Amino acid sequence: MHQYLNRFSPHAFALLRIVAGLLFLQHGAQKLFGLLGGFGESGGTAPLLSLMGLAGVIEFFGGLLIALGLFAGWAAFVASGQMAVAYFMAHAPRGFFPIQNGGELAALYCFIFLYVAARGAGIWSIDEVMGKRGGSGPMTQ
């Protein structure tokens, strides 16, 4: 199975990067614009000059950059850090295991984006079209 699927590895990675970026962007759209159900119980927006406002900016614009593959390694590195901070600030105090504290999504985004940061944008990216870094991430330079 591995021999057959291995030839599709760059395509699978590109789909992972694009889908994860678009899903992440939606969290930012909730916080910044009140879209998709909005932010918090009121369904409004997060105050821009707050931690949640900053999170919304990173999620929306970082997710967009990751999905497009434009400076994707750097955007993913920042997004990974944001998700680590979110996990330890908001989830870890509620219990040790992510399944107990509701932090599965933050932990998963953290490690997906860390992988994107290390690997770079790959195929189907603006970085590749522009010939930036040959698809390698900021961590490999």
Tracing tokens 């970082």 back to the chain, one arrives at 62
Enumerate residues 6+ apart whose C-beta is below 8 A from 63: 20, 21, 22, 23, 24, 25, 26, 27, 28, 79
Helix (H, G, I), strand (E, B) or coil at 44: strand
pLDDT tens by residue, 17-55: 999 999 999 999 999 999 999 988 888 999 999 999 999
The residues pairing with 39 across neighbouring beta strands, listed in sequence order, are 44
Tell me the domain boundaries of the chain. 2-140
> What's the average pLDDT block by block, 10 residues per block, for the chain (141 residues)?
92 98 97 92 90 97 98 98 97 96 98 98 96 55 41
